[in-house]
């Protein structure tokens, strides 16, 4: 795997969902709502957390501001962002596969 992608992993839970929510360009509040919807209510992101995440993700080149509408910045995921998200998904798949195969005792719980 590309070293520049590897060093950005693992994504935090909030970052993972923010990137997932950015499959289409969106502003902050739409992302907050989207994250809550796709995580089935399990993850709610506060505005301070999202503001800091935007700053980090933009600095890392995973998202970019594409335009402004009604004083709100609209962000989009970059190609690097898509590659990082994909790499995170691969990691998660391996973790789930290994967990299910090597820890069958968990099924008794």
Question: How far is the C-alpha of 34 from the C-alpha of 96, rounded, in Å?
Answer: 24
- Give the separation between CA 109 and CA 99, rounded to whole angstroms: 14
User: Contact region for another protein (CB under 8 A) — 7-15, 83-91, 94-102?
Assistant: 7-15
From 2, 23, 67, 72, residue interacting with another protein (rule: CB under 8 A): 72
Q: What is the DSSP string of 48-82?
A: HHHHHHHHHHHHHTSEEEEEEETTEEEEEE-HHHH
The footprint of another protein on residues 32-71 (CB under 8 A) is 32, 44-54, 71
User: Does residue 74 bind another protein (CB under 8 A)?
Assistant: no
Residue closer to another protein (CB basis): 11 or 87: 11
Residues of this chain that interact with another protein (CB under 8 A) are 12-14, 28-29, 32, 44-54, 71-73
């Amino acid at each position: 795997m590309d070293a520049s992608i590897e060093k950005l992993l693992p994504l935090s839970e909030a970052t993972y969902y923010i990137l997932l929510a950015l499959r289409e360009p969106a502003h902050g509040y739409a992302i907050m709502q989207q994250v809550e919807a796709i995580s089935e209510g399990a993850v709610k992101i506060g505005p301070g957390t999202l503001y800091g995440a935007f700053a980090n993700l933009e600095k890392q080149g995973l998202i970019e501001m594409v335009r402004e509408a009604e004083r709100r910045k609209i962000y989009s995921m970059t190609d690097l962002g898509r590659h990082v998200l994909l790499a995170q998904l691969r990691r998660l798949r391996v973790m789930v596969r290994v967990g299910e195969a090597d820890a069958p005792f968990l099924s008794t719980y």
